[in-house]
A and B are shown apart, each in its own frame.
Chain A
Amino acid sequence: MKLLLSDYVASLRERGELDAILPDLLSARGFHVISRPAIGVVQNGVDVAAVGNDEDGVRKLFLFSVKAGDLTRADWDTGVQALRPSLTEILDIYVPNRIPPQYRTLKVVVCVVVGGIVQQSAQPALTAYFKRYGNRKVSFQEWNGDRIADILLQGLLQEKLLPKPLRSSFQKAVAMVDQPDVAYEHFARLLFALQAKATKDKDRVLVARQINICLWVLFVWARDVDNLDAPYRASELALLHVWELAKPFLGKKGAQAKAMTAAVHQVIRLHVIVAGLFLEIKILPYVGRQHALSLAVGSDEPADVNLKMFDMLGRLASAGHWMIWLARYGNGELKELNAQQIDGLRKHVADGFKLIMNNPSLLLPLIDQQAIDLALFLTLAGQMGHADADIREWLAEMVRRLKTTVMGHGRYPAALTDYSDILAHPKARTDEYQREVTSGSVLIPLLLAFAAGYGDARSVTTIEELIAGPLAHCTLQLWTPDEKSEKHLYLDDDGHGAGLSDLPTTRSGVDLIKVLAEIGNHSPGFGNLSAVKFGFFPLVLTACRHYRLPVPPQFWIPFLTPRGTGSAETDDRQAQPRPKKRSDGSGKK
């Protein structure tokens, strides 16, 4: 375990990684963290500041200067991340001027934190510096990777935080990180076990931090084996678990509420880091290359390619939603997106369309459930308001393919979930089989609503023909949270939500949009979701993606409804850059 953790610490290679876990480690050891790392804030060499007992039992103020990886001679005095200038800043500026008044009487320990080791070449300079500037008020300590691992181990091994059975799950999750299904399974067990232990408010904060640290370890190990699938999925789950832990603190003030808010933000940031790294390294560089990602699936089974591509589209969309959220609420206060952020998001959406165009299995879902990924991306693209033509083109092609496959008993979207069934689809080219596997659909109403909303009359007609013909038996439905959803959405520990069935498909989709808009206006289940109430709406989308729940129409119906006509004007906190008003319903800007 110790080896696992020291390797992990040594692998924390970027700024924002080692200093991100340090505060939690300190908190777990009983330190009171008074300053956390922040980008864009003048820190005068101090990455983290905390008050706590030193090994001699005396309460001191610890000022941490963090250096990822090993400390070499070159890193000591030169370069952007040089250590000596940071230490000098601490001594010259922070200690005399920036220590909060209540801690000014405490002795100061300046800690040099390195993820790896202080190399021999740098050791004399560091020791000489410590000797020269150490005095009765200020002393120095060197925290290398080994020491941090020790602290981490002590934290993890505290019986109340990570009892033996959980340690086993954690170790297995990390060890099997290259087998994402297995790693995820163990990590999920760990999270549920931790969740069960958090009965008191104090425990909740501790568990949230613990989850964060465990996720970090998993992520770093996964990064080393070049497989981010397990931490990606684990980070979604961690996010939802931490939110569940945070729910009692929402809207409250106080130290623990603040600490929990910080924990939530940390997990969100970690999720975004994992998702961002995954997309930036593994997916986005290849979206512009024809078939590249489809072929990278490395399977001859078209079902494998289809499932992976829609999964990727969902992840890309989910990341986009979090990007919007971070840009607007990342600092806790509502902001308008600036031009640069909008450009970034639009490029993200454009990359999504490149992914679609170059990986044509994305032109038609194979299973009805992929309506979730479809809705996630449409919601994102619809918000950005610049991709209406792409959306229309994509949907039109999708409807065309839907018709061809349904009529020809081909690979039409089926309400199947079992992998073997999906592989074998279509098992038979008969009406009977088709009726069986298209008994219900969330995809068709979604397509109808978007086709109608974007004014694609031809697609609307095609869908209407299908609904009146070969899909007449199909229960067209959507899903919306209900009063039980708040309790079960984040952990998916029980059934919840309401299936909206027998939706009207008359008048070229207009009735459907109208009904959905009404539902948007009067849906206490949705409005009462804590994630919605407190402005963390991507959490709901993450839950939908992770637990394979249809995206509630409240997220996307506003982009399909002309404003000012009784549409689902949602909470301002959800509001994103929207498509401009479509007074004629044509979808034209």
Chain B
Amino acid sequence: MDVETAKPGRLEDADIVRHYRAGTLLQTVATRRDADDRKYLHAQMAALHNAGDIDLVALTTSTEFENLDRRHHFTIQQAYGDAMPLLDAGASDMLEIVRRMDAQAGGRAPSPRIAFTKWIKSTRERAAEVVRSAEADPGFDPEILMDALVVVANEDAASAFLVEPGPRRRAALAALGTIKPKNLKSAEATFGRMMEFAAPGIDEDTRYTTISSVFELSRHYKSRASKWIDSLVVVVKDNPTESARCALLNGLRQRAGLLPEKDVRLVFAVATDGDLTQLRLRDALQGALYQLIGGVHHEAAIDCLTTCVASNGKALPLKEFELLRHRLTELDRASLFALAIRWFATGDTLLCQIVSDLIGAPLDQKPFDASLAGLALTSGEIIAVCHKAIGFMPLAPVVAASFVVAALRASDKIAEPELVQLLFQWLLVNFRETVAAYLKKIGKEDVAHKPVRAALKMYRSYESDCRIATPPKELQPSTYQRGVVRQNHYLASREISKQAERQSIFAGLVHKSTLLYGRKAVTYARGPDVPPTSMEMKPVSAHIEMPRLQTVDPVGLELLLSIFRISRPK
């Protein structure tokens, strides 16, 4: 053997042969624990098979294989997955292994199949042999056929299977998309052949495969991509099934770089015209948008997303696109700000709410360092955007303040007085030093500095005015009232704690100790023979700052927020 030197505890070749003969090899293989050890063993087995000492093909027909405990199936599949690419065997033998593995798994056994593909790809002859086997066997596995056709890389050989409807045709279509045509003429011919199967009337699975393959074919001749996709879209529009739309979207997701923006928009238009309440289509759309947002076709993707979630579009909640939510929050700050401005400026409640979900979380507020200058917004639009930022992010005052500061940077003298009032009356009065600390960082060189200072000055005056040095005792709630409030807080905290524990994914996994006294824990949880572990107790808390108006004018607060939310540019 030329494999690495045997480690202690590893099986010797003789042991393997002995186990093979005794009908205990699979059991032995299945119970090896060490991963490296297993890989080594699998290679040993392949080598012994090639040397004729054992027969791994025959092993799959043995009693041991048939009676193998179910819990070992996966391990044995992995063993074959490792060994198969190394085997010297005929295609039929290899196919036999795959079939038996599939039969044992009660479906498709992935590891042996992948291994078989690797085996095919190692030489074109093996692939050709597989294709020949397939020609002779109408029930031949289409996936393996496709892999083999791709390796053979002969368009004619692949096209020969197009006449056979069903999985073999789809395998051929898929292969044709992957095989690089000999030249442009050949590519056009292939495209022409493929398009017959994208037309209405063809079964959906075949159409799906065809559309996907056209996208694949396009990567070989990028200059033809636009033309071919246009044709494809036209054909799909003739009979716009969900499956066809999904195929277009998947193609777009994988090959968006091939297409000009107009084609991207075309595909999105056809896709979003479908029933987006259907999970499959929605997922396909989500996949495409996920890929495109933040890339070269960002604008087209955002337009499409806007159509999907806006009140006057499909009005789908963003939670239906959970992946996208994450993608949007991961956008660079400039793009995220631009998106926020764009959606706030529409005044659409659903879009504004999504912006709030994306950037308006009360914890870990990240202000934008941006400007509305150069966005060609009117004074009214600037103010309306700020209203939205405040109205839809009532608990993220620093983020909202950064929108107002960005608006002040537009140096719009008409809007400025109102923006200063927004900073003062809304953000500073309600969130005091939290917002003041942020605003104080606006430097002198910043065009927003002067109006921001004006707002801060008003705030200082308000703060000194509203503080009574010795607050009248007569105004304070009675002892009884304070007691009731305390009790309510206690009950609410307990309920929150319970809920949090119920929803925690960790709570059920960890050991929980409740300490009644002390400032640190010295735990003997690891047993009496192990030294105890000492843990300092640290307070853990989270808080959300509530607007001051919530206390002094909750009704006014609600009213003001609603007004801001429905505010339109004057």
Contacts and interface: CB of A to CB of B under 8 A. Distances in A.
Interface of A: 178-181, 226-229, 232, 278, 282-283, 286, 289-302, 304-305, 308, 312, 359-361, 363-364, 400-401, 404-405, 408, 410-411, 419-420, 423-424
B556 A360 contact: yes
A305 B470 contact: no
B487 to A, nearest CB: 9
Interface in B397-430: 429
A343 B183 CA distance: 102
A305 B465 contact: no
B473 interface: yes
B555 A282 contact: no
B474 A229 contact: yes
Residue of B462, B476, B480, B553 contacting most chain A CB atoms (<10 Å): B553
Residue of B465, B472, B556, B559 contacting most chain A CB atoms (<10 Å): B472
B466 A295 contact: yes
B471 A290 contact: no
Interface in B480-515: 480-482, 484-485, 488
Contact of B472 (A283, A361, A400): A283
A423 B475 contact: no
A312 B475 contact: yes
B4 to A, nearest CB: 70
The 6 tightest CB contacts between A and B, nearest first, are A296-B471, A360-B553, A282-B472, A294-B552, A229-B474, A227-B473
A300 B465 CA distance: 19
A420 B474 contact: no
B479 A302 contact: no
Contacts of B474: 180, 227-229, 232, 278, 282
Nearest to B462: A290
A292 B467 contact: yes
B548 interface: yes
Interface string B548-563: 1111111110110010
A546 B473 CA distance: 20
Interface of B: 429, 462, 465-468, 470-482, 484-485, 488, 546, 548-556, 558-559, 562
B555 A304 contact: no
Contact of A359 (B472, B550, B552, B558): B552
Residue of A278, A282, A359, A410 contacting most chain B CB atoms (<10 Å): A282
Contact of B473 (A178, A304, A360): A178
A290 B551 CA distance: 14
Contacts of A361: 552-555
Nearest to B473: A227
A298 B475 contact: yes
A283 B472 CA distance: 8
Contacts of B475: 282, 293, 296-298, 308, 312
Nearest to B549: A360
Given A282-B472, A290-B465, A302-B550, A363 B556 contact: yes
B472 A296 contact: yes
B468 A401 contact: no
Contact of B478 (A180, A363, A364): A180
A71 B55 CA distance: 124
Given A227-B473, A292-B467, A296-B468, A181 B479 contact: yes
Contacts of B481: 304, 419
A363 B557 CA distance: 12
A400 B562 CA distance: 13
A147 to B, nearest CB: 33
B504 to A, nearest CB: 27
Contact of A360 (B466, B478, B488, B552): B552
Contacts of A411: 554-555, 558
Contacts of A405: 555, 558
Nearest to A297: B475
Contact of A298 (B476, B556, B558, B559): B476
Residue of B482, B546, B556 contacting most chain A CB atoms (<10 Å): B556
Contacts, number: 125
Nearest to A291: B466
A302 B557 CA distance: 12
A229 B473 contact: yes
Contacts of B467: 292, 295
B552 A305 contact: yes
A64 B254 CA distance: 107
Contacts of A292: 465-468
B477 A423 contact: no
Contacts of A363: 553, 555-556
A291 B548 contact: yes
A244 B553 CA distance: 40
B553 A423 contact: no
Contacts of B479: 179, 181
B94 to A, nearest CB: 67
14 contacts: A180-B474, A181-B479, A229-B474, A290-B466, A291-B429, A293-B468, A300-B546, A304-B485, A305-B551, A308-B477, A401-B556, A404-B559, A404-B562, A420-B484
Contacts of A419: 480-481, 484
A539 to B, nearest CB: 23
B261 to A, nearest CB: 44
A192 to B, nearest CB: 21
A121 B136 CA distance: 134
A302 B473 contact: no
Nearest to B552: A294
Contacts of A180: 474, 478
Given A180-B478, A419-B480, A291 B468 contact: no
Nearest to A302: B554
Nearest to B548: A291
B484 A299 contact: no
Contacts of B550: 302
A377 B550 CA distance: 25
Contacts of A295: 466-468, 471, 548, 551-552
A30 to B, nearest CB: 39
B142 to A, nearest CB: 58
Contacts of A232: 474
B484 A423 contact: yes
Contact of A181 (B465, B480, B546): B480
Contacts of A278: 474
Contact of B555 (A293, A298, A301, A364): A364
A371 B553 CA distance: 18
Contacts of A408: 558
A299 B478 contact: no
A106 to B, nearest CB: 48
Given A227-B473, A229-B473, A181 B555 contact: no
B468 A300 contact: no
A180 B478 CA distance: 8
Nearest to A412: B555
A228 B472 CA distance: 9
A465 to B, nearest CB: 18
Given A292-B467, A298-B477, 10 more contacts: A179-B478, A179-B479, A290-B465, A295-B467, A298-B471, A300-B546, A312-B475, A360-B555, A404-B562, A410-B555
Contacts of B429: 291
B176 to A, nearest CB: 61
Nearest to A358: B466
Nearest to B556: A360
A299 B482 CA distance: 9
Contact of B551 (A282, A299, A364, A424): A299
Contacts of B549: 360
Contacts of B477: 297-299, 301, 304, 308
A331 B546 CA distance: 53
Contact of A301 (B462, B470, B551): B551
A167 B558 CA distance: 52
B5 to A, nearest CB: 73
